[in-house]
Each structure stands twice: as C-alpha cells, then as structure tokens.
Amino acid sequence: MNPNLTLQSAYVLHTRAYQESSLIVELLTVDGRMSVVAKGAKRPKSSYRGILQPFIPLTLSYVGRSELKTLTYAEALSLPLLQGDHLLAGFYVNELLMRLLLKESPCGQVFVAYETILTALRAQQDLWVCLRLFEKALLKALGYELNLSYDAHTGEHIEHCAEYVYLLEQGPVRLAQAVNQDKNYIFSGKSLLALAEDDLQDPHVRKQAKQLLQQALQVHLGPRPLCSRDLFLNV
C-alpha cells in the first residue's frame, strides 16, 4: 500500500458491471455517496475480488475530480455476515440510501446511523425496532426530523390521551382542530411520544410508528416503489 494514500472508511451500497472486467461501485462514506470504478475487479487475481460486497466495513482510497472516481486501494474488515431476514433488511436500508442520498454531500450522521443498524442486524436484534429507529435517524440526518413532541399549530406539548393528524410538512395537529383530515394520518399522542423516546414495544405504537415513518419517507422517495420492501412486507 502506498503510505501517501488518504484512507477513509466506507461501505458498498451497490455494484454493477463496467466494461469487461471492472465494476462501478456505489459507496457510503462520511463525505456522502460516492461512485467509483474498480478497475479489473472481476479478474480472478484482482485484489478487490470478493471484498467489494455490501455490509462489509472497508478502508479505501480513490482519486479523481469527476463524479465517477477511480478506486486505488481497498481493504476489508472481516465481521459476521448478515443472515435471513436481517440480510433482507440490510438490502432495504441500502436501497433507501441509494434513493435518498445526494452524491458527494457530507453525511456523517447517516454514516453513524448506518453503522449502528449494521451492528444491530449482525447481532440479530429485533428487526422491526432496528428498521424503525434507522428510518427515524435517517430522516433527522437528512434534515427532515419528525416533530413528535409539540402541536404544530398551538406549540403545546403532545398529550398522551389525545389524537392528532400528522401533517408531514408541519407536524401533529390535534384532531379536533384539523380540517379535511385523512384517517390514515391520525395518530395517538401515546404513539407519538413513544416514538420520540424510541420506546417501540407496544403493538399499537409499533403499527402507528411504521405508518408514520414510511409515509414521511415516501414524500422524499417519490412514486417509484422500493424493490426490497416487497421481500419482507411484515416489517
């Protein structure tokens, strides 16, 4: 390895073939989502072969000023692989990032949230909770943090026993004050406060937290469905 290389941590989000023997690799780094070409990565004796895989922590370097840079070095840290539904959840997380992250836009908070959920998925923690907490953290890191504590119209604290319509661009509004409310956007104060505290054990809270988070994400994802969500509809 060249001692003059500037190394950074990264994860592979997606790869696709490029020319006869190379790959274009979409990376998550603290500097944002990066596209690099890994020249000769498909050759049997390539130093990149087998390590440019999702969910493996990488130390790497790249060069170039264009949007498509050239990978110059990569080394992988061996960790337990994701398995079963936790592996499918990882692909869902990667697809979210591919759809929502702008290229080369610094995203240190997203990188931390990504490492947090990968650690939880490797440990096979509660899959449902892992995903909801990541979705919540991702929205915050992208500048779309959910208001879960105050009435958007009055500024008053959310009441545990009240019901609220959640206006995605504003926040919760007490049901009695909302106009032309959509029942799909009605949430209990209990659910909003529990989500604010990352307390997702109650089944009703779980249902409403999933509904709210996925509605909030959909605004930014647009109409095109997520392919990975079809793999495990129950979470």
102 forms beta bridges with none
Report pLDDT for 105: 83
Residues with Cβ within 8 Å of 31's Cβ and at least 6 positions away in sequence, in order, are 8, 104, 106, 107
Structure tokens at 167: 């206006």
Report pLDDT for 81: 86
What's the sign of the alpha-carbon dihedral 195, 221, 22, 82?
positive
Report pLDDT for 183: 61
pLDDT in tens, the chain (235 residues): 555 567 999 999 999 999 999 999 999 999 889 999 999 999 999 999 889 999 999 999 999 988 999 999 999 988 778 999 999 999 999 999 999 998 878 888 999 999 999 999 999 999 999 999 999 999 999 999 999 999 999 999 999 999 999 998 889 999 887 766 666 689 999 999 999 999 999 999 999 999 999 999 999 998 888 888 777 656 6
Residues with Cβ within 8 Å of 133's Cβ and at least 6 positions away in sequence, in order, are 117, 198, 200
Residue length of the chain: 235
Domains with residue ranges and CATH for the chain: 8-76 (2.40.50.140), 84-142 (no CATH)
Other C-beta atoms lying within 10 Å of the C-beta of residue 68: 13
